Amino acid sequence: MKFKRLSVLFAIILALSTFFSSFAFAETNTKKNLVALGDSITFGWNLAQDHTIPSTSAFPYLIDSDHYNVTKNISFPGWTSKQLLDAIQAPENQDAIKNADVFTLDIGSNDILQTPEIAQILKNPTVPPTQDQINAVTQAVEKTAYDLEQTLETIVNTINDINPDAPIILYNLYNPFGSDNPTFHALGEQIIPQINEGINSVAIKYDFLVADAYTAFNGHQSEYILPNDIHPNSTGHHVLASLANDILTEIEPLTIDLTPSTTDQTKDPVTIKVSTNSKKVAQMKWLPGEKTAEDFMDAGTPVMDNQFQVTENGKYTVYVMDTWEYGAVKTIEITNITKDNGNPTPNPGDNGNHNVTPTPITTTSTPTPTATTPSGSGHALPNTATSMFNYVAIGLVLVLAGLASMKLQQYRRRENE
């Protein structure tokens, strides 16, 4: 009987330990917050049978999933740019926008499709439009393009007022009609570039990089778009995601700056100060010599308070990795430390018989791989400790409490006998 109770107790403790351990490890798996903004394309329309919620096969969920997590998909089928602007005013959406690390913005297709002159033509897709209808569409699109550009600017300003640091990846529009439908393909080629000019104007004004869906889909509509539809298929969504991935590698690489405390000849140690644009540093280490990121896998001395001291001339390499596992290395060469006799100290690894002629301090930088964190500098190494030991302590308390309970029950049984 006692053995059975002990088995049950330890089974409970094991289950709790597994739960808490999984929770603790989950805390260290930090990803950047991605907020997606758009219409039915961002929603992933027709990728899944359930049309009530965004599809996890839509392109925002495919963007560098090792480092990004879609925390909010603010999109809906049929939304125009003005409807999206209304949606981002909702408090729950503004909370997500405030905590975002990056945004995707793909809107404007419905602004075109809901233009009355175009909607009239699309009602009868098998009937070629007349020249009068085409002329009416051309005039209507000018106003549509202008209105979309103005609304896009308002959307961007609204986002920047809430979160000025997170970059916005702005998608332009693709022509949904392929060469197998020459009449509508030609009409799309007449309309879409005009709309994209307004989108590009917003990108230039706010210094955004444009995800060029138009070029990516041009000539590949049959491969990237669902049959008898205007929405991307699975392949098309992967193409849209790859456009964002390319931009993320260009936004801003992780950088390291190394500054010596002095460049004058000195007999004292030289302090090397380290600064980085990463806001969330997970590791910061140094090694003597010119090293690569791979050299720091199982080696390196932690950099404390963003600085370390060296007592000999030579090259020193610093490695920084952020909490999203982007890393970079940078090397600095120190040549101004002298011996008591005034000669420079040998490089680390020299036998002491080689005198080094002092040269200016130089630095080299090798990002490995590219990071996309916002700009900043001089951030101290954060406290990377987890709550694991707290959970271990809780487990031990539970063990002791269980044992005490068993002893109390045994005592009461003896009293009742």
Cβ of 36: how many Cβ atoms within 10 Å? Answer: 28
The predicted pLDDT at position 150 comes to 97
Please indicate, yes or no, whether residues 38 and 20 belong to a single structural domain of this protein: no
Task: Assess if residue 378 is contained within a domain.
Answer: no
Q: Of the residues 251, 271, 291, which one is the last residue of a structural domain?
A: 251
Q: How far are the Cα atoms of 161, 164, 211, 319 from residue 251, in angstroms, in the given order?
A: 20, 15, 12, 21
Please indicate, yes or no, whether residues 234 and 289 belong to a single structural domain of this protein: no
Pinpoint the alpha helices (H) of 252-376: none
Please indicate, yes or no, whether residues 11 and 142 belong to a single structural domain of this protein: no
Pinpoint the alpha helices (H) of 29-170: 40-43, 81-87, 91-98, 109-113, 116-122, 131-162
Please indicate, yes or no, whether residues 48 and 16 belong to a single structural domain of this protein: no
Cα dihedral sign, 183-185-189-195: positive
Residues 6+ apart with CB under 8 A from 170: 105, 106, 152, 199, 202, 203, 208, 209, 210, 211
The mean pLDDT of 9-19, rounded to a whole number, is 51
d(CA 381, CA 319): 12
The secondary structure of the chain in percent helix, strand, coil, rounded to multiples of 5, reads 45, 20, 35
The predicted pLDDT at position 135 comes to 86
Confidence of residue 374 (pLDDT cuts 50, 70, 90): very low
Task: Assess if residue 124 is contained within a domain.
Answer: yes
Task: Assess if residue 47 is contained within a domain.
Answer: yes
Give tens-digit pLDDT for 236-258. Answer: 999 999 999 989 877 777 889 99
Please indicate, yes or no, whether residues 50 and 65 belong to a single structural domain of this protein: yes
Q: How far are the Cα atoms of 17, 25, 26, 93, 321 from residue 22, in angstroms, in the given order?
A: 8, 5, 6, 29, 23
Q: Of the residues 228, 251, 274, which one is the last residue of a structural domain?
A: 251
The predicted pLDDT at position 416 comes to 64
The angle subtended at Cα 92 by Cα 86 and Cα 93, nearest 5°, is: 50
Q: Are 197 and 210 in contact, with CB atoms under 8 Å apart?
A: no
How far apart, in Å, do the first and last CA atoms of the chain sit?
17
Regarding predicted confidence, which is higher, 132 or 286? 286
Query: Is the pLDDT confidence value at 369 over 50?
Result: no
d(CA 5, CA 12): 11
The CATH number covering residue 180 comes to 3.40.50.1110
Confidence of residue 129 (pLDDT cuts 50, 70, 90): confident
The angle subtended at Cα 188 by Cα 182 and Cα 191, nearest 5°, is: 145
Please indicate, yes or no, whether residues 286 and 214 belong to a single structural domain of this protein: no
Task: Assess if residue 177 is contained within a domain.
Answer: yes
Confidence of residue 123 (pLDDT cuts 50, 70, 90): confident
Cα dihedral sign, 175-177-181-183: negative
Exposed/middle/buried for residue 358 (C-beta within 10 Å: 0-12, 13-18, 19+): middle
Query: Is the pLDDT confidence value at 367 over 60?
Result: no
Domain that holds residue 206: 32-251
Cβ of 315: how many Cβ atoms within 10 Å? Answer: 19
Task: Assess if residue 363 is contained within a domain.
Answer: yes
Q: Determine phi and psi for 385, rounding to 5 degrees.
A: -65, 145
Please indicate, yes or no, whether residues 161 and 283 belong to a single structural domain of this protein: no
The mean pLDDT of 297-309, rounded to a whole number, is 95
Query: Is the pLDDT confidence value at 351 over 70?
Result: no
What's the number of domains the chain is made of?
3
Task: Assess if residue 399 is contained within a domain.
Answer: yes
Q: Of the residues 251, 280, 303, which one is the last residue of a structural domain?
A: 251
Confidence of residue 184 (pLDDT cuts 50, 70, 90): confident
The mean pLDDT of 153-174, rounded to a whole number, is 96
Please indicate, yes or no, whether residues 23 and 68 belong to a single structural domain of this protein: no
The angle subtended at Cα 73 by Cα 67 and Cα 74, nearest 5°, is: 140
Q: Are 118 and 138 in contact, with CB atoms under 8 Å apart?
A: no
Q: Determine phi and psi for 388, rounding to 5 degrees.
A: -55, -45
Tokens representing residue 315 in the block: 């090259």
d(CA 291, CA 151): 50
Kindly report whether the peptide bond that precedes residue 176 is cis, defined as omega within 30 degrees of 0. Answer: no
Q: Are 281 and 254 in contact, with CB atoms under 8 Å apart?
A: no
d(CA 220, CA 208): 26
Please indicate, yes or no, whether residues 40 and 142 belong to a single structural domain of this protein: yes
Please indicate, yes or no, whether residues 353 and 405 belong to a single structural domain of this protein: no
The predicted pLDDT at position 385 comes to 42
- Least confident span in 15-19, 156-160, 221-225, 325-329: 15-19
Please indicate, yes or no, whether residues 295 and 417 belong to a single structural domain of this protein: no
d(CA 1, CA 195): 78
Can you say whether residue 289 is alpha, beta or left, with left for phi > 0 and alpha for psi between -120 and 50 degrees? left
The predicted pLDDT at position 379 comes to 35
Comparing CA positions, the residue from 347, 321, 353 lying closest to residue 334 is: 347
Sheet with 270-276: list strands edge to edge. 256-260, 270-276, 307-310
Task: Assess if residue 381 is contained within a domain.
Answer: no
Q: Where are the beta strands (DSSP E) in 98-252?
A: 102-106, 168-171, 210-211
Task: Assess if residue 118 is contained within a domain.
Answer: yes
Please indicate, yes or no, whether residues 203 and 73 belong to a single structural domain of this protein: yes
CA 182 to chain centre: 39
The predicted pLDDT at position 13 comes to 52
Mean per-residue pLDDT of the chain: 82
The mean pLDDT of 177-194, rounded to a whole number, is 90
The CATH number covering residue 319 comes to 2.60.40
Tokens representing residue 61 in the block: 């969920």
d(CA 255, CA 320): 9
